[in-house]
């Protein structure tokens, strides 16, 4: 390969880096060219995107299943006190 082209190791690093920040245009173009030619790097990028989406969905699911994240401390304390008093009466 030419010195101006990225190799597969470079591409894997750049793909990962691109998920955290914006890369310069010439890097994005070289990555795109490489991904068009290399099915292994293209598969790596797809796997990284799948993992990223799965983590995001998991984070959203945790927020939706934990209602205490949206309650004030006072409200949580009142609920705890109410539960303690109900359990104490049974």
How high is the pLDDT of residue 66?
65
CA distance 76 to 84: 12
Q: Which tens digit of pLDDT belongs to each residue from 40-58?
A: 999 999 999 999 998 888 7
Q: Domain residue spans in the chain? A: 8-89
How high is the pLDDT of residue 42?
96
How high is the pLDDT of residue 1?
43
How high is the pLDDT of residue 51?
92
Other Cβ atoms less than 10 A from the Cβ of 11: the count is: 21
pTM of the model: 0.61
- Per-residue b or e along 55-70, where b marks 16 or more CB atoms closer than 10 Å to that residue's CB: eeeeeeeeeeeeeeee
- Output the average pLDDT for the chain: 85
Average pLDDT over residues 67-89: 80
């Amino acid at each position: 390969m030419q010195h101006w082209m990225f190799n597969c190791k470079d591409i894997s690093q750049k793909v990962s880096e691109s998920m955290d920040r914006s890369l310069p245009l010439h890097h994005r173009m070289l990555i795109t060219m490489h991904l068009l030619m290399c099915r292994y790097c293209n598969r790596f990028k797809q796997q990284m995107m799948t993992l990223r989406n799965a983590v995001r969905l998991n984070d959203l699911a945790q927020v939706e299943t934990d209602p205490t994240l949206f309650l004030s401390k006072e409200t949580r304390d009142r609920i705890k006190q109410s539960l303690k008093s109900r359990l104490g009466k049974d």
